[in-house]
Structure 1
Amino acid sequence: MSQPLPLTTVATAATNETTAKIPTQSATMITANTNDLVPTLTTQHSPQLRATEPTSASATTLHGNHRIWNILRPSGELASMGPLKAGRARPGVHRFDPRCFESEEDLLVELALLGVARIPQVHRIGPADLLVHGYIEGETLAAHRPPGTPLTSRQLRQLMDRFAGLAAIPPASLELVHGCPADARPHGSREFLRGLIRFTRRHVYAVHRPELHGLFGRLGLHAGVLAEDGPLARAANRLTHRPFCLLHGDLHRDNLIVARADGALWTIDWELALLGDPVYDLATHLHLMGYPAAQERRVVERWATAVTGSLPGAADGLEEDLPRYRAYKRVQSVFTDVIRQAHAVRAAAPDEVVPRLSRAVDVVTTVLRNAGDDLGLDETPSPAVVESAYASLRHGAAWPVPR
């Protein structure tokens, strides 16, 4: 049997981003760990739930940064649910961002109960209580409007509605599913940014340094930029305090779906959602979206109007503080991409090494160039230096551990 979670239809019935005060106790109905979802979906979940018959490998499987998704086509009494997707954690995925919510499904249900529109529904299927998302048929905004191209006026309006809706959701309304202990939560914008910097220092740089210290050294990367008294932390100490709200944390073109039915923008991939300073969500969005310069300026102006209407004070100090958050995002991207590319090069099959190296050089050279001033680099490593550093990973070259 199938039992959709109560009130998840609110997510598709709502037509705007208003927030209602609705009791959140029902979210406790979702307790399964989605990391345990099986990769192959069988009749143990429901005889009327089957994987899409693939015309190609990509027709039935989607690969995100954090999960692999199987696309399902219900039949029989489940057919009215439409296409679904079930996810499992990608093996060996490293964390580069902090998280406030242990379960994306818990958060999605709470948002549905709060009346948030255009987000995936969550269902429980069969006796094994498989958790699945409604699958939004359409294409990503990246496919529709690639980075570097402007959004349409309708798309921009819908994005501003999304930001306004996020600003209208206070942390207290998500207390039931908030995974951070109360005594570990930041109090104010300064603590919030310092916490992000500390996470990158402890859980990204320090975790990967034993393995990649030589690569870091050859690229001019060191912990000083992330230090408690480093340049990013000093910038954090000058932030204006703003009221906290829900942040998507990863709102970019691949996480926005243009619905085939009506062209509306749906927001997916809430795994990196946070409760914190709304300017951080804007900085992350701008960092990832690749707006043309003229449209980016309009986005900032319209964002300030949108969020202030929902949360007075949300845009206070924006002109001074947005560059401070964007500097952190540039530095964070350097460590994230340097590490990801290192693992990709090391894991490449022999016939994939050359394209993998080429990709690593392109990605890493770009992020280093973008963040050179933030990192305090006197000179950005050349493509030849980057290629040599990554090629050494394949050859097993060892560098002495710095003392």
Structure 2
Amino acid sequence: MQSLGIVLMCVAAAVCYGIVHDQVTARVCVEYFTVGHPPVFGTDDPTLLGLGWGVIATWWAGLLVGIPLALVARAGSRPRRTVGSLVRPVAGLLAVMAVCAFAAGVVGWLLASAGLVVLVGPIAQELPAERHVPFLADLWAHSASYFFGFAGGVVVMVMVWRSRGRAARVQSTGLDAAADHRSTTGNASLSSAATGGGFDQEARRIEATLPPGPRVAILGSTDFWHADSERTCARIGQLLAGIRGLVLLTGGVEGIGEAVGRSFFRARCESGQEPRVYHVLPEGEEAWDYGETLFAGADMTERREVLGRLSKVFLMVEGGPRAGHEADVAAAHGAVVIPVGRSGGHAAALFGKMSRPPAIDSDAWATLGSNQSTPEEAATAAIRAVQACVDSTS
């Protein structure tokens, strides 16, 4: 379904862009559509022509970009990109196309006015001479949109593929780090104490920049493995936003953290509250487009050590070895880790081997681990558990 969603998003984006684009160009030169195109619509109204040609001249372009983008984003064993994670790059591509189309239209107009480019052929004979310049301006604008749309689409695909490669390397690093973390002494607290001085200092530095209030950190996978996880995370974010004064921390990666974080951020903004979403990433990484990004550690392994020290309550959905590493660090520093067991991954393994934290009621705990729970029920149980743990640690 994610692959289909990516394709449909690209088609919808192309159509929306085409309609807006053609509303402008139809008013610059309506003859570009009435003379330069087949008489499909039988009207010379620029609004109707912009709507009609904005759809039929662009949907196929969105399809031609969307199908390979879906393959690049989802195929193979690398961590997969979701529809939501591709909205930003696709929107950026549309913005670049619009700027380039405007610039090309202006250049085309100037060159045609100077007689450096001319209209030839049957269209030139049919159009009055005074309409040649605007016709050529439209032609240049439309050509630029197609060229930069397809060329930019290739660039986006390369960027997406490379981002999946980076995520795969991060996941591999997490696997090695988690194995080292467990095997050094067999005791997570001893491992943290052995190298923790610098991480403790980094954590205190980050804490000094955070606003007062209870904190909850989100742990999990960079992709959605369980069919219900994305919906569960979106609902968790909405419900967490209702806890007054809560500060939400994420590890600054896609997947679980982004789904919860964006939902939380959106709900807070819609209710007029301060968002209070903070992402912790290694130095040199790119900041997120929502919330505030803080930087700690030289790489993802060090960042995990710091994040594991920043909260007394952690909520885990799915997760692999690197999320397990964060959970070990958090537990070693006295935090409560709440696993949504039904989501699978490390959360399921942790739920199966740990005892119910005393602050969490038995019904909520059972719901978190039950495969029969709906996303709404699991999210509600998770919030009850988080609220109880926050109250018990405050």
TM-score band by shorter chain is under 0.3
Larger radius of gyration: 2
- TM-score by structure 1 length? 0.25
Greater helix fraction, Structure 1 or Structure 2: 2
> TM-score w.r.t. structure 2 length?
0.26
Structure of greater relative contact order (alpha carbons < 8 Å, 6+ residues apart): 1
